[in-house]
Chain A
Amino acid sequence: MPGPAPALEEIDSVTRDTHDLVHRAQAGDTRAFETLYRTHVGRVYAVCLRMVADERRAAELTQDTFVRAWQHLDSFRGDSAFSSWLYRVTVNVVLVALRSRRRRRARLEPTDDWTRIDKAGPRPAADEALDLEQAIATLPTQARTVLVLHDLEGYRHKEIATLMGIAPGTSKAHLHRARQLLKRFLNR
């Protein structure tokens, strides 16, 4: 059951506060930027973690995201919400990292093994969300990336295709594969 909707005044106040913090950060105020960091770090880290499936790497990419956001704050002109802009920066940082050959060799082991989830043993009843997170982490890299962008972050296939340098049809195919694998997992 969702809680009561925040009052319009409250939303306005949050928007004004964020606007003020961004403005101060753009002027070089690192304390204001730290407040923005504390507000958004959970969401940024979640995107990174789900896309790369590696805690240490996700922490590094979260740092990279905020450093990049700081360096490019001047390009944020308030046309969209700051959070939207920051999450787009996050996705770009992660996708660039995934394209990096060195990091790919060292850290990512995409698999096309459809039986990998099946081999994971029976699914324990407790903490299904955690199980699902682990199942997502075992998806092939591209399938996982598309699933996170589409189903969790709300990107459309056309946007994902542009971001990843693939065709929209390929993005759909990856999403199909991800959902089929997760379906198998949930049905175990």
Chain B
Amino acid sequence: MNDHAHIAPLLQDYIDDALTPAEREVVDAHLQTCQVCRAEHAALTAVMTAVDALPRSIEPPHDLWPEIAARLDAPRRVEAAAKPTLPANGRADRSPVHLRSRRGRIRLPHALAIGLALVTVVGALWLLPRLFTPAWDVARLEGAPRVGDTPLAGTGQLQRGEWLVTDDQSRAVLNVGAIGNVEVEPNTRLQLVAASLRNHRLSLASGTIEARIAAPPRLFFVETPSALAIDLGCAYRLHVDSTGGSILHVTAGYVELQHGDRTAVVPAGSMCLTRPGHGPGTPFDEDASDAFRRALAWLDFDDGGAEALTALLAEARPLDAPTLWQLMYTIDPAERGRLYDRLVDLVSAPAGIPRDAVLRADLAAIEAWDRHLNMDLDTGWFFRLFNKKKTRSAAE
């Protein structure tokens, strides 16, 4: 009878052909004699056959190309020129500004409509050049920052492709179109890569910037040698060192760090390191100790393994519990036991969830811990840290 309990978890891997030959033999032998497991195997195989038979292609309810074509005016990531014009498909007259003014003429008294139209036109005249400009305004704050080879005396413009460079005595502030600004600290090299409505993009080769953006998510991007920082509506400080590594400190909202398929969303009050070739590491609390941060970097980027984990656990405090929990299923499974033990030293375990359920990655246990720490399994990194403040207060 115990065979059922032993074999059942293997059936899925058996069907997916993911067992070792020895494990496969064990399952084969069991299926010969066990009708219950044979029935389960047949049922799961039927599910997979049905799913596999589904069409791989489904036509969308309508042709999406016209809407896609209208958006292709956005420049390519680096090479394409920013187009300071409305879409070239003849739809410029359908902008929201125009529709609003038309509605105004119909519904409001004549004089008021004219006033509103004037305000709209003046507003549009002010806003549109800023939205579509291929260059951004830049102003000197201290010292003698340079735009290209030219020293910046007071104010000027940074054209697409140009570099803004500060030495150890100079600082500048750059307007990000009409959606925010970036303060450029001393010893920084910053290039304007793209300046269009949907793609405000800088490249930070080295140095430090402080960005403050008030816009919908994913309009402002900063490329660094080790990751792409994507604004999700936020304020943050980003420093790139001489090796191309970076450190991000989010002070409001959220920033997503992306490198290849690796993504970390860092909420306010948290920090995250990136390394060339690795991308982002594990986000951590801004109040985490230096020793904890060093151990985490060792574990994330330098294959510190068991030794790094020992150092990390020794330095962990209750506020570090979310970071520890995120590591539970990314570290060597053999190390989960002591990670778990340290975690429950720092925060109480959810009621009714035994240690061994966590260690074997039982889904119900994972979900219970996620709920317990106010994290959300469904959305991974982002929501694991989303309610970190609550977690902290619960832990303390």
Interface contact A59-B61, CB-CB below 8 Å: yes
Partner of B54, one of A101, A129, A163, A167: A129
Interface contact B68-A169, CB-CB below 8 Å: no
Nearest CB in chain B to that of A172: its residue: B12
CB within 8 Å of B: which of A136-166? 136, 140-142, 147, 151-152, 159, 162-166
State A33–B13 Cα separation when bound (angstroms). Answer: 40
Interface contact A30-B54, CB-CB below 8 Å: no
Known: A38-B65, A45-B59, A179-B44. A170 touches B76 (CB 8 A): no
Interface contact A100-B378, CB-CB below 8 Å: no
B383: A residues at CB distance < 8 A: 101
State A177–B362 Cα separation when bound (angstroms). Answer: 12
Partner of B361, one of A141, A152, A170: A170
Q: Does B338 belong to the interface (CB within 8 Å)?
A: no
Nearest CB in chain A to that of B60: its residue: A45
Partner of B58, one of A49, A70, A176: A49
Interface contact B77-A75, CB-CB below 8 Å: yes
Q: Bits for A91-118, please: 1 = Cβ < 8 Å to B, else 0.
A: 0100010111100100000101000000
Q: Bits for B1-39, please: 1 = Cβ < 8 Å to A, else 0.
A: 000000000001100000000000000000000000000
State A70–B330 Cα separation when bound (angstroms). Answer: 34
Q: Does B46 belong to the interface (CB within 8 Å)?
A: yes
Known: A55-B61, A67-B71, A167-B330. A187 touches B43 (CB 8 A): yes
State A182–B78 Cα separation when bound (angstroms). Answer: 45
Q: Does A77 belong to the interface (CB within 8 Å)?
A: no
Nearest CB in chain A to that of B51: its residue: A151
Q: Does B301 belong to the interface (CB within 8 Å)?
A: no
CB within 8 Å of A: which of B48-81? 48, 50-62, 64-65, 67-69, 71-72, 74-80
Interface contact A46-B378, CB-CB below 8 Å: no
Q: Does B265 belong to the interface (CB within 8 Å)?
A: yes
Interface contact B367-A42, CB-CB below 8 Å: no
Partner of A37, one of B68, B264, B330, B362: B68
CB distance from A127 to the nearest CB of B (A): 12
Partner of B261, one of A92, A133, A182: A92
Q: What residues make up the interface of B, taking CB atoms closer than 8 Å to A?
A: 12-13, 43-44, 46-48, 50-62, 64-65, 67-69, 71-72, 74-80, 199, 217, 256, 261-265, 328-330, 333, 360-363, 366-367, 377-383, 386
8 shortest interchain CB distances as A-B pairs: A167-B329, A42-B57, A165-B380, A169-B361, A173-B363, A46-B58, A45-B60, A165-B381
